[in-house]
A = this chain, B = another copy of it.
Amino acid sequence: EDLLRIGDDAYSSRLLIGSSSYPNPQVMMDAIDASGAELVTVAIRRVNVQSPAPESHLDLIRKGGYRVLPNTAGCYTAKEAVLVAQLAREALDTDLIKLEVIGDDETLMPDVEQLLKAAKQLIDDGFTVLAYSNDDPITCRKLADMGCAAVMPLGSPIGSGMGIVNPYNLRIIREVVPDTPLIVDAGIGTASDAAIAMELGYDGILLNTAIAEAQHPVAMARAMRLAVASGRLAYQAGRVPERIYAKASSSMEGRVGS
């Protein structure tokens, strides 16, 4: 079977999903169900983990039988992110952490210096770290080399819906990080974006806004589930080469995802 392995666990689904911005909790639960996701990421704040209210997102997701992937959204420094991760581990009894350390609250792009520092500390402290990164090959390789369980470059900024704006960098990252799971996290806007990421040989997709803020979140969740499966199969199937026309003498093989 074609499983996604993260840390000590394996998952049938290659689609990880977020839990914010849905019209209401019922739609969220229906969309998560339709997506086929097994891992659902939840932003951790002190208040929501220590005693999650009945009917809180956290409570609903756990009751739904999904595995919670706590995340450090909203943290600007390694110190903050490490504290939130520790809080999450204690409250939720999990070593998993989706590490986000952002540089500002406009672009929501990662602060690479703080990210690398936090990742190092969390790995040393026994966490299974899934690191949200920019699409810089050098940074992604460092994250892999220090032992992150998954490296998660963005396709484009969080919430932008712009898809994979730089497929060339994603391709280089796959080349320089051949053995650690790579997941495109952020920027996916519609189904084809997810398929493109998988066709580049990525191991999975993490998304939130594309489903939660679609006009029909449950239909989009279904679309994304199929898109991830489709892109994975297409990658494994070995696509035809690109030529400017069928009998052209030179192939276009370098062209990717554009």
**Using a CB–CB distance below 8 Å, which chain A residues touch chain B?**
103-113, 116, 134, 136-139, 141-142, 156-162, 165-166, 168-169, 171-172, 176, 189-192, 195-196, 199, 209-210, 213-217, 219-220, 222-224, 226-227, 229-234, 236-248, 250-255, 257-258
Do residues A159 and B220 form an inter-chain contact, with CB atoms below 8 A? no
Interchain residue pairs with CB less than 8 A apart (15) = A106-B247, A107-B137, A107-B245, A111-B138, A112-B136, A112-B138, A112-B139, A160-B246, A161-B241, A172-B245, A215-B237, A219-B236, A223-B230, A223-B234, A254-B255
Q: Which 7 A-B pairs have the closest CB atoms?
A: A215-B238, A159-B246, A252-B254, A103-B138, A226-B230, A223-B233, A191-B234
Do residues B220 and A226 form an inter-chain contact, with CB atoms below 8 A? no
Output the least CB separation between A256 and chain B (Å). 8
Copies per complex? 4
CB neighbours of A213 from chain B (8 A): 240
CB neighbours of A191 from chain B (8 A): 195, 199, 230-231, 233-234
